[in-house]
Structure 1
Amino acid sequence: MRWRFRQISDLAVLWAGHRAVPVTLVALVALWAAAGLSFSFPRQWFLLTNMMGTLIIFFILLLVQHSQNRDMVALQTKLDELIRSSKAGNHWIAAEKKEAEAIEEMRQQHHDQMPETMN
């Protein structure tokens, strides 16, 4: 089930980010407005427009957030592995899970340890 969701999510994010989508959406909005104009914009038309717009935006927002979360976890894992394999201190591993103040202290401590020529 998770594999299937990830596959569908990746496909939807790829589709939503395609360069043809804005042109298609403008055409659909023009058709939708023309249809509303031909029916003199009944109350149900406005309700349906608001409902569908909200649902589509919410759905795409969730898909993009899911994709970004997965990408960020992969990026943090790669960075942690680079830290492990380098001469950097292991205290930098999983820094993203610390409080903002602790991260700023670590950054300031690292900055203070740099030679003057690099500042």
Structure 2
Amino acid sequence: MRWRFRQISDLAVLWAGHRAVPATLIILAVLWAVVGLHFSFPRQWFLLTNMVGTLIVFFILLLVQHAQNRDMMALQTKLDELIRSSKAGNHWIAAEKNEAEAIEEMRRQHHDQIRETMN
């Protein structure tokens, strides 16, 4: 089940991120408005359209967030392995799990060390 969800998620993210999608959606929205005005669709029809559009956008947002979270976890794992296999200090491994203040302090210490070695 997870594999299928990931496959669907990847496909939806790929589709939603294609450069032709915004232009297609704008054309569809203009056509929908023109047809609606021409045939005098009732207000409920436009409310239904608004609700469906909102749900689709929300669904795609969740899929994109899922893909971004997975990509970020993979990137962090790769960085941790690079740190582990290099001469860098192991205190940098999993730094993203620290609080923002602790990360900022680590960054300051790192910059101070760089300045000391340059002088």
TM-score w.r.t. the length of structure 1 is 0.92
Q: Which moved more, 1:13-22 or 1:2-11?
A: 13-22
Stretches (4+) displaced over 6 A? none
Alignment of 1:1-119 (within 5 A): 1-116=1-116, 118=118
Give the alignment's Cα RMSD to 1 decimal: 1.6
Q: Which moved more, 1:108-117 or 1:18-27?
A: 108-117
CA distance in 2, matches of 1:47, 1:67: 30
Which 5+ residue runs of structure 1 have no aligned equivalent?
none
Identity in percent: 87
Taking the aligned partners of 2:118 and 2:36, their CA distance within structure 1 comes to 64
Distance in 2, matches of 1:58 and 1:118, equals 50
Structure 2, unpaired ranges of 5+: none
Larger relative contact order, structure 1 or 2 (CA cutoff 8 Å, min sep 6): 2
Residue identity matched to 1:91 = H
Q: Could you report, residue by residue, the CA deviation over 1:62-90 in whole angstroms, capped at 9, with x for unpaired residues?
A: 01100100000000000000000111000
Label 1:5 to 1:86 Cα distance change in 2 as closer, same or farther (>3 A).
same
TM-score (ref. length: structure 2): 0.92
In structure 2, distance between residues paired with 1:86 and 1:116:
21
